[in-house]
């Protein structure tokens, strides 16, 4: 549904050049919620603004729903019409709501419909439908100043849906909200994704947002995508930085055994689906008569699936534990052997 290839954005002034995006390749599948995560300055907001051409890329292409937006110029009359038509299929939700204080909630939602020339009766009907959809049907005549932050963001979402878009872009839409309101907005976005078949691309700096609502994710650093994929695939990759950030076990496994303890093998076990319900640790201990030290564990629901990660310590060297490790893998578990001195995958 959304594909970028070689996307680059360079800002130039008289004495310096800033490369905000550097050869970004990204693919968002139809009907999924895709999160782009990274620290401030990673290029996330520039990326999302280039997707709907609020910022025109320096080079590279952006294709949305089969249309190459970068091939449409706003300068020629026909091309400009084509670009505007393509943008109407893309809704945008902003961090700071961007509501007009002089307009009621309903009038804010109607604004994009006014721009497209829809008649007054149809505008009102569509706005009423959307406000009901986001749970604000009783706030149609209120003004933005009378709303809470979460309600304002719901108005922003309703307005973004006014043109019946196929794609919804969310630029840090929950970063100005408290945790409880954030959860309600993320729940709403997931419901809209499922009810309307919306493809959602959201920008965030919070891993909890990725964990709560996304099917796939990408990690950005320094204007580049350094990792991307479906969360289920990333969680099965022992080297995934996103997976480790979703399940931060710290340095619990990074310790050197004392002489009294002898040599140890540190394992990181990732489990999904029904695996968390299986007592594999106790079964392993009973089957092979070994003492297992649990160093850390976390279990979460991600992309609708129960997923977890556990770090354990077994007595003996890696060679001594080949059979127990094989047993764990036979149970459908992802098992990575860590370097006991630093906790990194061996």
Segment 101-122 mean pLDDT: 92
Domain ranges of the chain: 2-242, 248-338
Phi first, then psi: what are they for 332, rounded to 5°?
85, 20
Whether 281 shows a pLDDT value over 80: the answer reads yes
What was the pLDDT predicted at 21? 96
The pLDDT score that the predictor gives to residue 212 is 87
Lowest-confidence segment of 35-49, 78-92, 121-135, 174-188 by average pLDDT:
78-92
Query: Residue 167 pLDDT more than 90?
Result: yes
Question: Are the C-beta atoms of 165 and 88 separated by less than 8 Å?
Answer: yes
pTM to 2 decimal places: 0.83
| Mean pLDDT of the chain, nearest integer | 87
CATH topology agreement for domains 2-242 and 248-338 = no
Mean pLDDT value of segment 305-310: 80
Element (H, E) at 266: strand 264-272
pLDDT band at 259 (very low <50, low <70, confident <90, very high): very low
Question: Could you tell me the pLDDT band of residue 83, with boundaries at 50, 70 and 90?
Answer: confident
Convert the pLDDT of each residue in 119-139 to its tens digit: 999 999 999 999 999 999 999
pLDDT score at 234: 85
Lookup: tokens for 313? 């310590």
Class of residue 10 by CB neighbours under 10 A (exposed 0-12, middle 13-18, buried 19+):
middle
User: Which of 244, 252, 173, 240 minimizes the C-alpha distance to 205?
Assistant: 173
Query: What percent of the chain lies above the pLDDT cut of 70?
Result: 89
For residue 78, the model assigns a pLDDT of 55
Q: What pLDDT is attached to residue 162?
A: 92
Pick the CATH number of 2-242 from 3.40.50.300, 3.40.50.1950, 3.30.70.260, 3.30.300.20: 3.40.50.300
267-275 average pLDDT score: 77
Contacts of 263 (CB under 8 A, 6+ apart): 257, 315, 316, 317, 320
The proportion of the chain whose per-residue pLDDT surpasses 90, expressed as a percent, equals: 57
Residue 203 has pLDDT above 90, yes or no: yes
Q: How confident is the model over 226-253, as pLDDT tens digits?
A: 999 998 888 777 678 888 887 777 654 4
Contact at 8 Å (CB) between 71 and 5? no
Structure tokens at 217: 């994710």
The per-residue pLDDT for 187 is 93
Which superfamily is assigned to 248-338 in CATH? ACT domain (3.30.70.260)
């Amino acid at each position: 549904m959304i594909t970028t290839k070689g996307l680059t954005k360079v800002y130039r002034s008289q004495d310096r050049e800033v490369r905000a995006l550097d050869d970004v390749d990204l693919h968002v599948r139809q009907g999924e919620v895709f999160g782009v995560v990274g620290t401030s300055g990673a290029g996330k907001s520039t990326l999302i603004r280039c997707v709907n051409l609020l910022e025109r890329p320096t080079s590279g292409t952006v294709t949305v729903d089969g249309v190459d937006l970068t091939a449409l110029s706003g300068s020629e009359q026909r091309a400009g019409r084509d670009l505007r038509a393509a943008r109407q299929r893309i809704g945008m939700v902003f961090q700071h709501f961007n509501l007009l204080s002089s307009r009621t909630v309903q009038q804010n939602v109607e604004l994009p419909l006014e721009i497209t020339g829809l008649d007054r009766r149809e505008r009102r009907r569509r706005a009423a439908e959307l406000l009901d959809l986001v749970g604000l049907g009783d706030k149609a005549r209120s003004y933005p100043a009378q709303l809470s932050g979460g309600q304002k963001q719901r108005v922003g979402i309703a307005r973004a849906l006014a043109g019946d878009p196929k794609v919804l872009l969310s630029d840090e839409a929950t970063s100005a909200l408290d945790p409880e309101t954030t959860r309600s907005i993320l729940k709403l976005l997931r419901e809209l994704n499922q009810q309307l078949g919306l493809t959602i691309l959201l920008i965030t700096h919070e891993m909890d947002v990725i964990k709560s609502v996304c099917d796939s994710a990408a990690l950005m650093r320094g204007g580049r995508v350094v990792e991307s994929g479906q969360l289920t695939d990333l969680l099965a990759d022992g080297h995934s930085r996103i997976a480790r950030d979703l399940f931060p076990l710290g340095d619990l496994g990074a310790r050197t055994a004392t002489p009294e303890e002898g040599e140890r093998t540190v394992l990181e076990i990732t489990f999904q689906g029904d695996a968390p319900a299986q007592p594999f640790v106790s079964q392993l201990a009973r089957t092979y008569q070994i003492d297992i030290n649990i160093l850390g564990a976390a279990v979460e629901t991600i992309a609708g699936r129960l997923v977890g990660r556990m770090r354990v310590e077994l007595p003996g060297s890696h060679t001594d534990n080949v059979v127990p490790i094989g047993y764990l893998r036979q149970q459908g578990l992802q098992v990575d052997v860590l370097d006991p001195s630093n906790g990194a995958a061996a």
